[in-house]
Amino acid sequence: MYHLGIKNIYRLKNLLRGVKTVYSLAAVEDLLRKTEALHKNSPELALKFARSWFYLPSLDFGVDPLSEAYFNKQKKTYEALAGKPWGTFDLVAQDNLAEFNNLGELYPYVTRDNHLVGAHLQKTGYWMSQMNLNVSDKIIEFGAGSGDLATFLSQSGYNILATDISQTYTDVIRRKAEFLKLPMKSTRADMSKFQAKELYDVAIFCEAFHHSSDFLALLEQLKRILTPVGKVYLCGEPITHFPYPWGVRTDGESIWMARRFGWLELGFDKFYFRRLVRSLGWSVSWSYNKAIDHAASVVCLKRNNFEDQS
């Protein structure tokens, strides 16, 4: 089970990966200032630097991961790292951004950095390649952002509804569909509160599931909007080897995103997540592509009794 030895193991893993481990909030503040300074000249260097450090807070392994006490600990951690009150992320929809005049203003293209754009396209292509889809499937994507994956799927003949909490992004997806003459649809929706008018065969999250503060309710909600044999694909989600069962991520990149945008960045330990979703009636399988630099993973959940393929 979870014990103090995990802390030492995680410290060693960071050392082997060339990641600096820090243990104080003062050190975090100093590293955030350096990250922001780099970002002014090079988004790529800032991102690379943010991925080079990790904050390891004090760990309490004697608390039930689903208890109120555990939740409150994560709440305090978020507020300390993001510098914002818990719940701020519920209001973050990015609708205060200027209207996009062309697709080149969307991330990652706006960075004008071929390495970042190439890595983004690589992982998006990998996600798509790992999904077992039928053209007849009704597909919904939650937290679709500007709809890169949804657009690729729609261009490939799939029936997809792309949702996001941001009206700005759902408008971008609509404009893409109109320009490319695609049947792709979009609607503004909070993933945890979405009320489906019909059942879907597939639900997709691309680096979005971990933004949900009530992931248990979300997993139950998915059962109500999917067909009995429906599938969920969690793409690029931080479900990996984690120093505690689940909680606010404390890698440099996640802290930086929380500080800059107010985003909630949760992470899950792979073994804990497997047990959790199985207890909720899902089977689970994993696929990875270690040749791709970042977020090249796909987790598939199914509402059936198929054997775990991981």
Q: What is the DSSP string of 224-267?
A: HHEEEEEEEEEES--EE--SSSEEE--BHHHHHHHHHH----EE
The count of domains in the chain is 1
The pLDDT of residue 94 is 54
CA–CA distance from 281 to each of 55, 136, 219, 239, 240 (Å)?
Answer: 34, 25, 10, 18, 21
> What does the alpha-carbon distance between residue 303 and residue 282 come to, in Å, rounded to a whole number?
5
Q: In sequence order, what DSSP letters do the residues of 151-193 get, joined into one string? A: HHHHHTT-EEEEEES-HHHHHHHHHHHHHHT---EEEE--TTT
The pLDDT of residue 253 is 95
The pLDDT of residue 242 is 83
308 found inside a domain: no
307 found inside a domain: no
**Is the Cβ–Cβ distance between 135 and 158 less than 8 Å?**
yes
68 found inside a domain: yes
The pLDDT of residue 295 is 81
The domain in which residue 111 lies consists of 5-302
CA–CA distance from 95 to each of 42, 148, 165, 166, 292 (Å)?
Answer: 25, 19, 9, 6, 31
Spans of the chain below 70 pLDDT: 1-7, 61, 91-100, 304-310
The pLDDT of residue 292 is 83
CATH number for the domain that contains residue 99: 3.40.50.150
**Is the Cβ–Cβ distance between 135 and 65 less than 8 Å?**
no
91 found inside a domain: yes
The pLDDT of residue 99 is 60
207 found inside a domain: yes
- Residues β-bridged to residue 268: 239, 246
309 found inside a domain: no
29 found inside a domain: yes
310 found inside a domain: no
The pLDDT of residue 13 is 75
The pLDDT of residue 1 is 41
The pLDDT of residue 159 is 97
> What does the alpha-carbon distance between residue 91 and residue 226 come to, in Å, rounded to a whole number?
27
The pLDDT of residue 93 is 56
